[in-house]
Amino acid sequence: MIEVRNLEKSFGPNRVLAGVTLRIERGESVVVIGRSGGGKSILLKHLIGLLTPDAGEVLIDGQSLGRMNERQLLVVRRKFGMLFQGAALFDSLTVAENVGFVLRREGDLPQAQITRRVAEALEMVDLAGTQDKKPAELSGGMRKRVGLARAIIYRPQIVLYDEPTTGLDPIVADSIDQLIVRLTERLDVTSVAVTHDMRSARRIGQRILMLHEGRIHTSATPDELFASTDPVVQRFVNGVADPRIPGVN
Ligand SMILES: Nc1ncnc2c1ncn2[C@@H]1O[C@H](COP(=O)(O)OP(=O)(O)O)[C@@H](O)[C@H]1O
Ligand SMILES: [Mg+2]
């Protein structure tokens, strides 16, 4: 469903992606791990065509994003829901307005249907009845769940999560991970999450890809990853900083 071939991206002298190649099948739940600043968010943005690669290509359902015009890109983007890092809610809008934002912007659904879809999405993330609250009234975990409701309101085929548990305490992080697993099953979607949190990666990923020095260093199941004898993988999994290996931790 998602294929990335030799993706390269630099910002000035900073070579962030140095040839990323990966394949994600329909229905898979994949987590990309890697250190902060390692290019995970940049990789996600390439998957939905928000960034253009310097070299290489991204294919969604076999179609290369690089060969598409804006209109075709919009059609492909509709297959995606995305939970942005930090949830990225509009503070001046209510929860219902935030969640229904994309539906309202499209302008082709009557308000009653938008209201119903918003209520459904909020129920799926265990936030029924919070429609009229403002983001500032919500806890960090609740804001993430509003972001999740917004990501799924479009009934996407693929959901991308950028650091879904970063900045949350461990118990709230657990509950968000459980919610992601449940949503993935219930909505029958393909999911790709990026995180530097190994605990979270283990809970939500059927397969874990490790991004290291701009490339996919390893693709493995969580159990394989934890059993790996590869020093780069081991240090990341154990959270040990090693000054001899640049880019770990
Ligand atoms: N728009 C941008 N312009 C210049 N550099 C950027 C931009 N976005 C990200 N970067 C750089 O790219 C690198 C990877 O960023 P990012 O993908 O956000 O890392 P991660 O999500 O893994 O923490 C960082 O060094 C960051 O400073
Ligand atoms: Mg990031």
pLDDT tens for the chain, 249 residues: list them: 999 999 999 999 999 999 999 999 999 999 999 988 999 999 999 999 999 999 999 999 999 999 899 999 989 998 999 998 877 899 999 999 999 998 888 778 899 999 999 999 999 999 999 999 999 999 989 999 999 999 999 889 999 999 999 888 889 999 999 999 998 888 889 999 999 888 899 999 999 999 999 999 999 999 999 999 999 998 888 875 544 545 443
Clarify whether residues 162 and 239 are in a common domain. yes
pLDDT of residue 248: 45
Residues with CB under 5 Å of ion ligand 2 are 40-41
Contacts of range 236-245, beta carbons closer than 8 Å, 24 or more positions apart: 236/33, 236/34, 236/35, 236/198, 236/210, 236/212, 237/198, 239/198
Query: Does residue 111 belong to any structural domain of this protein?
Result: yes
Residue 47: closest CA among 79, 15, 16 = 79
Domain extent at residue 7: 1-79+158-243
One domain for residues 150 and 163: no
The answer to whether residues 108 and 164 belong to one domain is no
Residue 12 and residue 119 in one domain: no
Measure 123 CA to ligand 2 centroid, in angstroms: 28
Nearest-CA residue for atom 7 of ligand 1 = 11
Q: Ligand 1: which of 41, 48, 192, 213 to mutate, most ligand atoms within 8 Å of CB?
A: 41
Degrees (nearest 5) of the Cα angle 50, 52, 58?
90
Residue 175 corresponds to which tokens in the numbers above? Answer: 């509950």
Strands 55-60 and 2-11, bridge-based pairing: antiparallel
Q: Are strands 55-60 and 80-83 parallel, antiparallel or unpaired?
A: unpaired
Q: CA-to-CA distance for 18 and 213, rounded, in angstroms?
A: 7
Q: What is the pTM of this model?
A: 0.90
Number of domains in the chain: 2
